[in-house]
Structure 1
Amino acid sequence: MPSSKILAVPLNYQGIYPCPVCRVGKIRDMPLMEAMGCDFCHEIFTVNLEQEQLKMLSRQPPLIWRWNGFNWTETQLEGVELGWGYALGASAFVLFPTIIIGIVAYNFPLDPHAPITWLPSIWTCLTFLVHFSIIVWLLIEIYQVPISAYWRGIIRWREVRTTVTSARNFQGNGVIGNGE
């Protein structure tokens, strides 16, 4: 038996696990319920102990994570399987319009003395950026990436860091603990 399996923690209601949604808080059992909740983002999850799965029911279709003994893996939408066809479609959605506009801009160049000679290249770049941002936005919507929770976590981390730094500076200046 590999040593990594010995150290693995099985999924149970008594354990405390990292939150797969916000990745900042901890999930633990909720009293009088067969569910677990996060102490940071306040998401509620149902648990399938046999398959070691965690299901977030606050969205439809729900997201499901699998516990591998160390962390959450295999984020998937219930009943939805995103395969290579979706990746191919997303790539075509981003690249096809960009290539068409780039070819047109290359084959029909503007007069070099015109004041807007920069427009075709900027238009091509904007086409790529807008189509790419649409795909990123769709992925964020599908997988419910908690950008606001990340932002709150960063702000809390900065506040704690500045508080600790200012306390150290306060103590280091001889104000605290110098015996006077």
Structure 2
Amino acid sequence: MQPQKAHKIELNIDYPCPCRRRGRLTPITLTEAFGCSRCQQIFVVEEGGYVIEQLSASYPYKRSWRWTGHQWNVVHSGLGDSYLPLALGIVLVLLSIGLPVALRNPAGMNIILWAIVALLLAVLPALMVWLAYRR
């Protein structure tokens, strides 16, 4: 089934809430935003009027939807939903390269290489969490 074409979001029309709580999105005067009558969330219009984005401090990723004329479709952000598999893949690559190198070197260099591998394994998840929450 083909995805339906996105319609431009009109700023003076009520829409159903995309959070599936049977609320209604009503325009907020003098802004390009909508407020839900049921879940009390605020949604701003983005990307030239074709996407609404939920403003929420409790959700680390921005949730977005497109209006098809009858319902809201979730806009997927690409890598934003797959940080865990990406992190595991990077750790596995580092281990597959680091372990053979560390085992082939003399004992004195072995400690230095293990320290570098441990440092990379500690810094990499911290860097990924920072990248995820900096939006």
Alignment TM class, shorter chain as reference: 0.3 to 0.5
Task: Determine which structure has greater relative contact order: mean sequence separation of CA pairs < 8 Å that are 6+ residues apart, divided by chain length.
Answer: 2
Calculate the TM-score normalised by the size of structure 2.
0.48
Structure (1 or 2) with the greater strand fraction: 2
Structure showing greater radius of gyration is: 1
Calculate the TM-score normalised by the size of structure 1.
0.37
